Structure 1
Amino acid sequence: MIIKLKSDNKYFLDILYKNPNTDKGLYLKELKDGIVIGNVIKENEYHCVFLDGKKSYLPEEGNQIDFQSYCSPLLALNIMTEFFNHLYKENEVLNETVISWLEKSYNEVDTEKCTIEVPTFFIDTNWYKNGRYLLSKYIDGISLEQKIGNNFELKIEGATVREAVQKFSLVSLFTHFTNKYAVYTFIDDYFIQKHITMFTNLTGIPYFVFYLFIKRIMRSPVQFEKFRPQLEAYFDNQVQFVFTDTHQSRKEFICSKINFDEPVLDFGCGELQYFKLLNKKGFEKEYYAYDEVDFKPIADKIQEAQRAENLFWVENVEELKDFVGQIILSEVIEHNSLEEAKALLIWIRDNTNFTTLFVTTPDKDFNVNYELTEEFRHDDHDFELSNSEFRNLIDEIFPNQKTFHGVGDCVKGIYPTSAVIIQKK
């Protein structure tokens, strides 16, 4: 792998802490089973090259060709840490840090644009599709050109050397953790803190990038709780994060409210995610699963693998008439037209004797946080409601006692999921 850093800043090499008068500008360090070499090409260009000795970045030991050592995003991340770790400090600290031989601070000298180029960068993730890389949508200065297969030419632009280095490291970080073909990386608190500092050093990073960082990289609720205040402070505490992703948050919200002494009907059950979670928690009452799509083979496999004798697949909606118990209707109504959704809710109201009805649906007002404008959150949605529209719909059909909830992260008082718990008639 080769990484090329360029800037017209006359202090460029000073900012990098690379002196061309020392060893002719050559720096060599061991990295895994290879050597990473830093070389001053000229006063405005610096190259980092990795020469591997023995399959340092090979995920599969049986593969004789370690091509990952020439293009791995983890390698790029490691190289930048080896050579430029001093540029990962908080802006406030680095701004006041004086470069001793210049007797000038970074704030005085790091004032011009910088580019970082990698001729071959490996991306094997669904974050790149239709010619666009997901992070390019949220962070400016990221450009990719596809070469062959999963190999891309990557270019990063920053207003300063520090900004370019930090953007590049964030791209390498996210690419590594979303690539299918990746070496496992141990995530300790130091690693998390270093990258949170990079985020908070950059201005204008949207909520969704922080969401992806929490969901993809943080490994435990304990780690999340430790760093959550820093993440929320970036948004002046107008954002409240939760550890679980949007889907998992819905599941945990509903399952935490389920009465384990009453049967459950999962209407629009999909692949039975709610049953799986409740089963882990020890739910033993009858669980009836119904969906217009035939997920019976999945239900059969679960019954056999987990000996789930309380799980029953329902073939016909007519069999659900006069059902007594709790009903889950999660992320179902938006997959119909609005009139069909109303008819479904009315059918449940008039044909079942539910004790508690759980309904969830996306709040369309949250979509702006996914950089969506007119689009629905998913292609198979026929409509999406704001929270107030959802409340009006439920109130129109159910005069019953009910409580409304927001589920998931909260951004300026808006949640990704609108939920309601409706009590029996």
Structure 2
Amino acid sequence: MIIKLTSENKYFLDILYKNPNTDQGLYLKELKNGIVIGNVVSANEYHCVFLDGKHSYLPEEGNQIDFQSYCSPLLALNMSTEFFNHLYKENASLSETVISWLDKNYNEVDTEKCTIEVATFFIDSGWYKNDRYLLSKYIDGISLNHKIGNNYELNIEGKTVREALQKFSLVALFSHFTNKYAVYTYIDDYFIQKHITMLTNISGIPYFVFYLFIKRIMRSPVQFEKFKPQLEAYFNSEIQFVFTDTHQSRKEFICSQINFEEPVLDFGCGELQYFKLLLKKGFTQEYHAYDEVDFKHIADKITAIENADNLRWIESLEEIKDFEGQVILSEVIEHNSFEEAKELLIWIRDNTNFTQLFVTTPDKDFNVNYEMTEEFRHDDHDFELSNSEFRELINEIFPNPKSFYGVGDCVKGVYPTSAVIIQKK
């Protein structure tokens, strides 16, 4: 792998801490089974090169060709740490740090654009589609050009050397942890803190990048709680993060409210995610699963593997008329036309004797946080409601006692999921 940095800044090499008069501008150090080499090409260009001995970045030891040592995002991450770790400190303290031989601080000298180029960069995730890389949508100055297979040319541009390097490391970080073909990386608190510093050093990063960081990089709720205040402080506490992703947050919310002494009807059950979670929590009452799509084979498989004799697959609506118990209707109504959704809610009202009815649906006002404007959150949605429209719909159909909730992260008072728990008549 070769990483090329260029800048017209006359202090470029000073910012990088690279002295062309030392060892003819060369720097060599062992990295895994290979050697990293830093080379001063000119006053405005610096190259980082990795020459591997054998299989330093290859997940499959049986493969004779270690192509990952030429293009791995993890290698890019390791190389940037090796060469430029001094530039990954918090902005306020680094800005005031004096470069001793210049008697100037970084704010005085790091004032011009910097570009970083990697000729071959490996990505095998869904983050590159429709000729665009996901992070390019949210962070300026990141571009990928497809070459062949899973190989891309990566180009980064920053307003300063520090910004370019921090963007570069974030791309390498996210790419490594979303690639299917990746070496396991141990993530400790130091690793998390280092990359939170990079995120918060760059101005204007939107909510969704932080969401991805929490969901893809953080490994435990304990780790999340430790760093949560720093993440929220970036947004002046106008955002409140949760550890679980949007889908998991819905599951946790509903399952935390389920009465374990009553049966459940999961209307539009999909692949039975709610049942799996409730089963882990010790739910033993009868669980009736219904969906227009035939997922009976999944229900049968769960029954066999988990010995779940309380799971009942429902073939038709007639079988659930007069059902008594709790009803889950999660992320279902938006897959119908608005009129069909109303008819479905009325059918449940009039044909079941529910003790609790759980209804969730996306709040369309949250979509702006995904950089979405007119499109729905998913292609198979026929409509999406704002929280106020959702409340109006539910109140129109159900005069019952009820409680409304927002589920998931909260961005300026708006949640990704609108939820209601409707009590029996």
Identity %: 84
In the TM superposition, what whole-angstrom CA distance separates every residue of 1:3-48 from its partner, at most 9, and x where no partner exists?
Answer: 0000000000000000000000000011111100000000000000
* TM-score under structure 1 length normalisation: 1.00
* TM-score under structure 2 length normalisation: 1.00
Deviation of 1:63 after TM superposition, in Å, equals 0.9
User: C-alpha distance in 2, partners of 1:222/1:256?
Assistant: 20
Deviation of 1:318 after TM superposition, in Å, equals 1.1
Which structure 2 residues correspond to residues 21-40 of structure 1 after superposition, within 5 A?
21-40=21-40
Deviation of 1:64 after TM superposition, in Å, equals 1.0
Which structure 2 residues correspond to residues 166-315 of structure 1 after superposition, within 5 A?
166-315=166-315
- Counterpart code for 1:396: E
User: C-alpha distance in 2, partners of 1:422/1:255?
Assistant: 15
Deviation of 1:355 after TM superposition, in Å, equals 0.4
Residue of structure 2 equivalent to 1:339: 339
SS, match of residue 324 in structure 1: strand
Deviation of 1:399 after TM superposition, in Å, equals 0.1
User: C-alpha distance in 2, partners of 1:90/1:64?
Assistant: 42
- Counterpart code for 1:309: D
- How large is the RMSD of aligned CA atoms in angstroms? 0.3
User: C-alpha distance in 1, partners of 2:143/2:404?
Assistant: 43
User: C-alpha distance in 2, partners of 1:140/1:237?
Assistant: 24
Residue of structure 2 equivalent to 1:364: 364
Deviation of 1:227 after TM superposition, in Å, equals 0.1
User: C-alpha distance in 1, partners of 2:27/2:409?
Assistant: 45
User: C-alpha distance in 2, partners of 1:29/1:13?
Assistant: 19
Residue 59 (structure 1) aligned with residue 59 (structure 2): yes
Unpaired runs of 5+ residues, structure 2, are none
In the TM superposition, what whole-angstrom CA distance separates every residue of 1:267-323 from its partner, at most 9, and x where no partner exists?
Answer: 000000000000000000000000000000000000000000000000001111000
SS, match of residue 356 in structure 2: strand
SS, match of residue 27 in structure 2: strand
User: C-alpha distance in 1, partners of 2:79/2:8?
Assistant: 22
Residue 82 (structure 1) aligned with residue 82 (structure 2): yes
Residue of structure 2 equivalent to 1:407: 407
- Counterpart code for 1:354: F
Residue 48 (structure 1) aligned with residue 48 (structure 2): yes
Which structure 2 residues correspond to residues 158-169 of structure 1 after superposition, within 5 A?
158-169=158-169
In the TM superposition, what whole-angstrom CA distance separates every residue of 1:301-355 from its partner, at most 9, and x where no partner exists?
Answer: 0000000000000000111100000000000000000000000000000000000
- Counterpart code for 2:274: Y
Deviation of 1:104 after TM superposition, in Å, equals 0.5
SS, match of residue 165 in structure 1: helix
- Counterpart code for 2:186: F
- Counterpart code for 1:275: F
Residue of structure 2 equivalent to 1:144: 144
- Counterpart code for 2:166: Q
Unpaired runs of 5+ residues, structure 1, are none
- Counterpart code for 1:200: T
Which structure 2 residues correspond to residues 319-338 of structure 1 after superposition, within 5 A?
319-338=319-338
- Counterpart code for 2:7: S
User: C-alpha distance in 1, partners of 2:190/2:385?
Assistant: 41
- Counterpart code for 2:318: E
Deviation of 1:61 after TM superposition, in Å, equals 1.2
Deviation of 1:62 after TM superposition, in Å, equals 1.3
User: C-alpha distance in 2, partners of 1:186/1:346?
Assistant: 51
- Counterpart code for 2:59: P
- Counterpart code for 2:276: K
- Counterpart code for 1:408: G
In the TM superposition, what whole-angstrom CA distance separates every residue of 1:69-122 from its partner, at most 9, and x where no partner exists?
Answer: 000000000000000000000110011000000001000000000000000000
SS, match of residue 319 in structure 1: helix
Residue of structure 2 equivalent to 1:104: 104
User: C-alpha distance in 2, partners of 1:29/1:94?
Assistant: 25
SS, match of residue 247 in structure 1: helix
